[in-house]
Structure 1
Amino acid sequence: MFGAGGRAGRRAVSEAVARGHRVTAVVRDPARHGHLDGDGVTLVAGDVTQADSVAAVAAGHDAAINAAVRLDVSTWEFFNGAAHALLDGLGRAGVGRLVLVGIGTTLETAPGVLVHDAPGFPAEAREFSLGHAAQLDVFRDADTEIDWLVVAPPPVVLDDDAPRTGRYRIGGARILPGGDGSASFSYADLAVALVDEIETPKHHRALAAVAS
């Protein structure tokens, strides 16, 4: 689990452990995330933008989830670098399945029209979304045996307090009905979708919207 210290990452770690999986929680600074270390979880240092680091921490694993993000470097530099490092490192480690947390602003509101291309969309938010879009392009263009999937929640702030319901809808690169912010979606249920796609993959080499 790359980016295990973030909101989506923490929830995904908890969801996977609750299902009986052993999880390697990868963060840049383990000293800041000691709460993650416990039964079923091994906390390690790693850098998702460095292929050697990815290969080292992923060795011996069946699948990977990536929820990592950095705000102290350019978004294009981070997401583009992470995409290449994950493809290289996971390929060397023999990891066959990768599920990534995307962003809802890269979803379509109409065929070929992305949320972040709407008139008046905030410039700073658009730059962040374009970083995600660049990462997606790397995966789409890659000649790889890795079965990857980008899961994009609605383009709103997710609920960090709502309890897990285990219910969600998933599929397609267009915003799902109710996924435009008119209905809330929680990090807990995002984690369910992520781990479900590890256990029983239903979507492959694609961007998939998820909503309540």
Structure 2
Amino acid sequence: MIRSMQLFYTTLLLAFAGLVFASGEPAADRSSSAKSEHPMKIVVLGISGRAGSRIAHELLQRGHHVTGIARQVGEVPAQQGLQVASADVADIERLVPLLEGHDAVISSTRFVGSDAASLLGAVKAAGVPRLLVVGGAGSLEVAPGVALIDTPEFPAAYKAEAGAGCDFLNVLRGEQALDWTFLSPSALFEPGQRSGRFRLGTDSLLVDAAGNSSISMEDFAIALIDELERPQHSRQRFTVGY
């Protein structure tokens, strides 16, 4: 499946590279994981997942306190500064008390089956001021007015999740009370190296000089926690890539 996605993105990005390559700020070195001067209490929803576990690790390395929530937390390794709780994000009555007393919630769960309005309501009911969402690449533009998900080459197997992610982002864009941020990865989003060198963009898919669009989950985590510590995209979507 990964190989088929790589072939899809190679074909698609070569077609659109000339339109989107200029997007994004120059790459900078963000590899430092220095302890934060202002440690926060952060909830990570979906901590048992590939992205969620790496986000939690980045938070802990920077000295933050993490509450990890997932349906199954038995295999989440114990770490100093981490506590875990088993809960379904759709169970609002169970979720709200777990969120209370935290500085921010990071959502790293699947979009299919999730309800953006319910999650927003839970975060606000718990009195948490910020929500950061691990988004998808499907809503990013590959040409003016053309989203990645709307291209003919986009695999049918990924459309449901990508479409649900687009819907989630649209709900967020109508939210005015809560401070939210939606970070979209590049097209290929897999575990890899923590290099600390990447570019940031806004609504266009980032593509490198070779026509590739990718970001490791480790570098994605750096970009997300940088945003948590030094907010630059309040009530906005932004993206990260090489």
Alignment deviations for residues 11-33 of structure 1 (CA, whole Å, 9 cap, x no partner): 000000000000001111222x2
Alignment of 1:24 with 2:55, yes or no, is no
Question: Are the equivalent residues in 2 in contact too, given 1:104–1:153 (CA < 8 A)?
Answer: yes
Residue equivalent to 2:107: 66
Taking the aligned partners of 2:178 and 2:201, their CA distance within structure 1 comes to: 19
**What is the TM-score of this pair, normalised by structure 1?**
0.87
Q: 1:146 aligns with which of 161, 164, 178?
A: 178
Structure index of larger Rg: 2
Q: 2:53 aligns with which of 3, 7, 10?
A: 10
Taking the aligned partners of 2:122 and 2:214, their CA distance within structure 1 comes to: 35
Residue equivalent to 1:133: 166
Alignment deviations for residues 117-169 of structure 1 (CA, whole Å, 9 cap, x no partner): 01132222122210101111111123x4211111111112x231x32122222
SS state at 2:219 partner: helix
After the TM superposition, list the runs of 4 or more consecutive aligned residues in structure 1 that deviate by more than 4 angstroms: none
Number of matched pairs: 199
Q: CA deviation at 1:183?
A: 5.0
Taking the aligned partners of 2:158 and 2:54, their CA distance within structure 1 comes to: 24
Taking the aligned partners of 2:76 and 2:174, their CA distance within structure 1 comes to: 37
SS state at 1:10 partner: helix
Q: Taking every aligned residue pair, what percent have the same amino acid on both sides?
A: 34
Q: What code does the residue aligned with 1:60 have?
A: G
Residue equivalent to 2:122: 89
Alignment of 1:52 with 2:84, yes or no, is no
Which residues of structure 2 form unaligned runs of 5+? 1-43
Q: CA deviation at 1:180?
A: 9.4
Residue equivalent to 1:187: 217
Taking the aligned partners of 2:76 and 2:54, their CA distance within structure 1 comes to: 15
* 1:193-204 pair list within 5 angstroms: 193-204=223-234
SS state at 1:177 partner: coil
Alignment deviations for residues 89-134 of structure 1 (CA, whole Å, 9 cap, x no partner): 1101111111111111210012221001011322221222101011
Residue equivalent to 2:190: 159
**Which structure shows the bigger proportion of residues in strand conformation?**
2
Question: Are the equivalent residues in 2 in contact too, given 1:48–1:85 (CA < 8 A)?
Answer: no
**Which structure shows the bigger proportion of residues in helix conformation?**
1
SS state at 2:80 partner: coil
**What is the TM-score of this pair, normalised by structure 2?**
0.77
Q: Could you say what the CA RMSD is over the residues aligned between the two structures, in angstroms?
A: 1.9
